[in-house]
């Protein structure tokens, strides 16, 4: 395998088994509110993932583009802010592995991800200004 991909958190159920404390309605309401927060964050994460994937593809070329995927990675699960996990290559691939340890390639990848973050932040700030001006 070779290439790069970006992950956002994905899950198939509204509330994961074992996530909810046994008890009254307050626990259920708290769980539903937590899930709604995660879903709102997921939409923004998906947008961030698209920007990251586009910028990395622009830097490395579209041939290795493995797309955007959903996976239940723990590192993304409880995030309260837009979050992605970027896999930029396969270190065990005969051709790609040596490129992954090249400092120049690392800088190119880091710059692409940084540009995606800047673009994402600029768009979020623009939305915030628009919504603040038009309540």
Q: Which parts of the chain have pLDDT scores under 50? A: 12-23
Asked if residue 111 lies in contact with residue 30, where contact means CB atoms within 8 angstroms, the answer is no
Report pLDDT for 26.
65
Q: What is the pLDDT of residue 14?
A: 30
Give the per-residue pLDDT at 118: 93
pLDDT tens, position by position, 96-119: 999 999 999 999 999 999 999 999
Label residue 83 left, alpha or beta by phi (over 0 means left) and psi (-120 to 50 means alpha). Answer: beta
Q: Which of helix, strand or coil describes residue 27?
A: helix
* Pairing between β-strand 4-9 and β-strand 85-87 as defined by DSSP bridges: antiparallel
Q: At a CB cut-off of 8 Å and minimum separation 6, what does 1 contact? A: 90, 93
């Amino acid at each position: 395998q070779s290439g790069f991909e970006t992950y956002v958190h994905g899950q198939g159920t509204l509330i994961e088994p074992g996530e909810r404390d046994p008890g009254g309605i307050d626990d259920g309401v708290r769980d539903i509110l937590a899930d709604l927060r995660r879903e709102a964050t997921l939409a923004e994460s998906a947008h961030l993932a698209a920007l990251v994937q586009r910028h990395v593809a622009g830097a490395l070329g579209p041939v290795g583009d493995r797309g955007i995927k959903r996976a239940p990675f723990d590192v993304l699960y409880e995030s309260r802010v837009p979050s992605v996990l970027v896999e930029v290559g396969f270190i065990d691939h005969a051709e790609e592995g040596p490129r992954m340890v090249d400092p120049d390639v690392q800088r190119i990848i880091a710059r692409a991800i940084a540009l995606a973050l800047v673009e994402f932040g600029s768009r979020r700030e623009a939305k915030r200004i628009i919504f603040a001006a038009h309540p």
